[in-house]
Structure 1
Amino acid sequence: METSPVVAGVDGSAASLDAVAVAAREAKLRGCGLRVVHAFLWPAFGAYPGSAAMLPGDTALRDEAEKVVADAVAHARETAPGVRADGALVTGEVVRVLVEETENAQLAVVAGRGLGAFVRLLVGSTAAALSAYGHCPVLVVRGGGPGPGGPVLLAVDGSPAGAAAVDFAFAEAARRDAGLVAMHVWSAWTRYSPRAGNPARTAAEGPAAEGDRVLAEAVAGAETAYPGVRAERTAVEGSARELLIEASKDAGLLVTGARGHGGFAGLLLGSVSHALLQHAHCPVAVVRGAGERP
């Protein structure tokens, strides 16, 4: 049994209830508790700090915020009977609150879009920021959540930081009793980047063989650690964004590292990871490597 909780961020939207349902199932799979968190800020309305208008009490705003939490907890218990779910109303800005919550969580779950997202954005600012700055893996729920029986799709880039995503994906497949598809997408950039490996060996083996080798080396340890996971490997040439998004149509969950070989050192969320959050057809788990903590 894993003791650290799964944390779910809620804002009262239907999308956040979908995320709570996914979080409840994840908590039950892990044998841990679920902590449902709603970040609450008092609007000023011209009131000065410390005035009666700003004090918590029997106000409509406070009551509504508490109802958001209570409804989400009830939804979690209904979705996953037996799960230990509790709720918390935390005063503060939503990203700051949720990032702090991830310090003591094993997984954070949020909706791709909620009440605060602009209509034209495919993924909300909260989901993107939490994926970049969270201290634990972040699962961003798009649509109604993982489809039953869908395999875990693992994006493999061969970088050392990506090892955490590999371990997470295999563990998730084992919990779900689901298959796993490990996909490595190679291109001219990944073949010849100084960080990509041995250019001489790539030239000798050929790019396709190099792609197969990178993929095999990346998942070898996890395949040994999780012998019961039905793992399929596929190494293909093309655009990582396009091919992974297309493959996500058949997946129950897509797992990616935060930043791989192509990431700039100052970025906490790489361009491929961000594209997957925007356009994947299934929930996306972003897993940071040990050296990528904010």
Structure 2
Amino acid sequence: MNAAEITGVVVGYDGSENGVRALDWAIEEARWRGLPLTVLHVWDVYVGAPVAVPVADVRGIAEQTLESGVEYACKAAPDLRVRSSLERGPAAARLIEMSGIADLIVLGQRGLGGFAGLLLGSVGAQVAAHAACPVVIVRVEREPSPEERPGRVVVGVDGSPASREALALAFAEADAHEFSVTAVAALEAVPVKDLPLLVDEEGLREAAEIRLGRLLMPLRELYPKVKVQSDVVTGKPRDVLMDAARDANLIVVGSRGLGGFRGLLLGSVSHALVHHAPCPVAVAHAPAEDTGDHERIT
């Protein structure tokens, strides 16, 4: 199909267990949002493959993989508008291109690899870092019971443009799924051994709580039905967010942070969450035109 027609939820599918898990998540998300679902498969012929395979055969395998994903989605959600897209080229480049017109990109944590796979172990991180729309990375795991995950979206906040987008996405997800929101700011411990009188740790915490509350206020008003909890937690951002996500349905972070989330790039905090968080991870991006200064939380 024409790339210009691809809107709504786009899921990268490669037939692996991770791909199926991502497809399940994308189907549910598209239904909740009332959006169409595009099942996307990217293929290419890779130099150095152990066996020479004709291009036509590789494309045939790709077509079969995509067809199986579309059939799975149609069977799982007969009422959902499902479309398909077969693309050739570098997987990350194709997915990033699609993100310019999609509402959401959904990927498995890791793909099959080889000439037929999406290589989502590396592609997922690249797409999450550079996509124009939010990206959700879904892990393969046992489906938790409602008692284990009662319905909660965790969002990391530091006042950066990307974290503000993460907040907006977290509230929208919580409102759509009737979940609660836990907004978390990490207050990194200040080394006060040499200058104990110059650092007011309690004052820093109170200031962070006030700033966090200020950021939450407009979203509380926009989504009055969403229950909200705000936490300022002392510790390294990666550890704080990993712990907060332990019983969450989704954790949302910005692609790049400041303050308490210094250098929130894939390769640091968000990279760790993409690969190790115990629940799906959504990565939000600041608007391209946003170049202003922003007050940091911590």
**TM-score, length-normalised on structure 1?**
0.82
Q: CA deviation at 1:211?
A: 2.0
Per-residue CA deviation, residues 66-110 of structure 1 (Å, 9 max, x unaligned), is: 111111112222333311111111111111111111111000000
Q: Which residue does 1:103 correspond to in 2?
A: 100
Residue 11 in structure 1 maps to residue 14 in structure 2: yes
Aligned residue pair count: 265
Q: CA deviation at 1:206?
A: 0.5
Q: Distance in 2 between matches of 1:126 and 1:140?
A: 11
Matches within 5 A, 1:120-269: 124-144=121-141, 147=144, 148=146, 149-188=150-189, 203=200, 206-262=203-259, 269=266
Structure 2: stretches of 5+ with no match in the other structure = 1-5, 115-119, 191-197, 291-298
Q: CA deviation at 1:292?
A: 8.0
Q: Which residue does 1:280 correspond to in 2?
A: 277
Letter in 2 for 1:177: E
Q: Distance in 2 between matches of 1:110 and 1:213?
A: 36
Structure 1: stretches of 5+ with no match in the other structure = 47-51, 118-122, 190-199
Q: Which residue does 2:31 correspond to in 1?
A: 28
Letter in 1 for 2:182: V
Q: Distance in 2 between matches of 1:146 and 1:216?
A: 33
Letter in 1 for 2:174: A
Q: CA deviation at 1:13?
A: 0.8
- Structure 1 residues 114 and 240: alpha-carbon distance in aligned structure 2, compared to 1, 3 A threshold: same
- Structure 1 residues 160 and 40: alpha-carbon distance in aligned structure 2, compared to 1, 3 A threshold: closer
Letter in 1 for 2:165: A
Q: Distance in 1 between matches of 2:135 and 2:27?
A: 14
Q: Which residue does 2:45 correspond to in 1?
A: 42
**TM-score, length-normalised on structure 2?**
0.81
Determine helix, strand or coil for the equivalent of 1:206: helix
Determine helix, strand or coil for the equivalent of 2:100: helix
Q: Is the 8 A contact 1:169 1:255 kept in 2?
A: yes
Q: Which residue does 1:192 correspond to in 2?
A: none
Q: Distance in 1 between matches of 2:288 and 2:94?
A: 23
Q: Report sequence identity in percent.
A: 37
Given candidates 106, 110, 117, the residue that maps to 1:113 is 110
Q: Which residue does 2:79 correspond to in 1?
A: 82
Per-residue CA deviation, residues 110-154 of structure 1 (Å, 9 max, x unaligned), is: 00111129xxxxx71011000011110000001248855430111
Q: Distance in 2 between matches of 1:224 and 1:158?
A: 18
Q: CA deviation at 1:53?
A: 4.5
Q: Distance in 1 between matches of 2:95 and 2:158?
A: 28
Q: CA deviation at 1:4?
A: 3.0
Q: CA deviation at 1:246?
A: 1.4
Q: Which residue does 1:194 correspond to in 2?
A: none
CA RMSD, 1 decimal:
2.8
Q: Distance in 2 between matches of 1:44 and 1:244?
A: 40
- Structure 1 residues 264 and 280: alpha-carbon distance in aligned structure 2, compared to 1, 3 A threshold: closer
Determine helix, strand or coil for the equivalent of 1:110: strand
Q: Is the 8 A contact 2:137 2:282 kept in 1?
A: yes
- Structure 1 residues 154 and 43: alpha-carbon distance in aligned structure 2, compared to 1, 3 A threshold: closer
Per-residue CA deviation, residues 25-77 of structure 1 (Å, 9 max, x unaligned), is: 1111111111111111134689xxxxx954x4xx3x32221111111112222
Q: Distance in 2 between matches of 1:151 and 1:291?
A: 29
